[in-house]
Structure formats: structure tokens, C-alpha cells
């Protein structure tokens, strides 16, 4: 099998051990359905161990998602400007203001061990 056509990857997948040259891109056909072999291959590449039942369930779920994208492709978007969000966004951060912080004595008051106003913690790395 020299090349696996997969709607999830524009350039398809090459089996292990073959050249990794980029293949000519083809427009994905949204009506195309994923097969169990394609789901197995993607799971292999993602280093996922899936049972046959999980692969079948995942194939059904992914084909449902691809079906929803196919429905979106049917919409007339002529004259609709591209957007990155469905709603306009604005910065919701507050202004930076300097506020008083805890005094060192108050911050370390409940520390099990402290020295010179600093927390003393167990060593985790060897010398």
C-alpha cells in the first residue's frame, strides 16, 4: 500500500519505512468516510493502543464529525468575511496596579521551617 488517502490529512499518509516526501495535495472530499484501516493507521501514528470496539466507535464518531463539516461546506458563504471567532473579542484584563503584599514574616509565619525570611524545603536534587 503506497499511499493512504485520508480526509483528516490533506497530503495523506505513507506507510512506515517509505520515503517521507510531501505528496501533491488534494482537496479532501468531505463525503468520503474513514475506514477502519485509516483509523488504525492514525491510532498507530499517535501511539494509541485501541481495541477493535474502540476503533469502530471512533470511526463512527469521526465520520459523524466529518459529516457535520460536509454540511457546513454546503452553506453559501459568499460575501461573509473570514473570522477567527464567532463573537467580537475584547481585552478583559485589568490595568496593572501595584498593591501591598504580605510582609515576609506573615508569609512565612506557618512555614514548618524557615531561615532568613525564606521557606526551607527538602532537597530534591542530588549535589
Query: What is the rounded distance in angstroms from the CA atom of residue 76 to the CA atom of residue 87?
Result: 20
**pLDDT tier at 5 (50, 70, 90 boundaries)?**
very low
Evaluate whether 5 touches 12 at the Cβ level (below 8 Å): yes
In a domain, 20, yes or no: yes
In a domain, 11, yes or no: yes
- pLDDT of 9-21, one tens digit each? 444 444 444 444 4
- In the chain, what's the furthest Cα-to-Cα distance? 70
**What domain range is 24 assigned to?**
4-73
Strand partners, 118: 115
- pLDDT of 60-101, one tens digit each? 999 999 999 999 889 998 998 888 888 888 888 888 899 999
Mean pLDDT of 48-71: 95
Which residue in 12, 19, 67 sits closest to 45, CA to CA? Answer: 12
Number of domains in the chain: 1
pLDDT score at 108: 92
39 burial level (CB within 10 Å; 0-12, 13-18, 19+): buried
Amino acid at each position: 500500500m503506497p499511499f493512504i488517502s485520508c480526509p483528516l490529512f490533506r497530503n495523506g499518509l505513507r506507510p512506515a519505512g517509505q520515503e517521507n516526501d510531501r505528496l501533491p495535495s488534494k482537496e479532501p472530499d468531505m463525503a468520503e468516510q474513514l475506514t477502519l484501516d485509516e483509523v488504525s493507521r492514525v491510532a498507530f501514528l499517535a501511539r494509541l493502543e485501541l481495541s477493535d470496539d474502540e476503533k469502530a466507535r471512533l470511526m463512527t464518531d469521526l465520520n459523524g464529525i466529518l459529516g457535520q463539516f460536509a454540511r457546513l461546506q454546503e452553506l453559501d458563504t459568499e460575501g461573509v468575511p473570514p473570522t477567527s471567532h464567532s463573537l467580537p473579542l475584547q481585552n478583559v484584563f485589568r490595568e496593572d496596579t501595584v498593591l501591598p503584599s504580605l510582609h515576609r514574616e506573615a508569609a512565612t509565619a506557618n512555614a514548618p521551617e524557615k531561615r532568613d525570611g525564606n521557606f526551607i524545603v527538602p532537597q530534591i536534587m542530588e549535589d
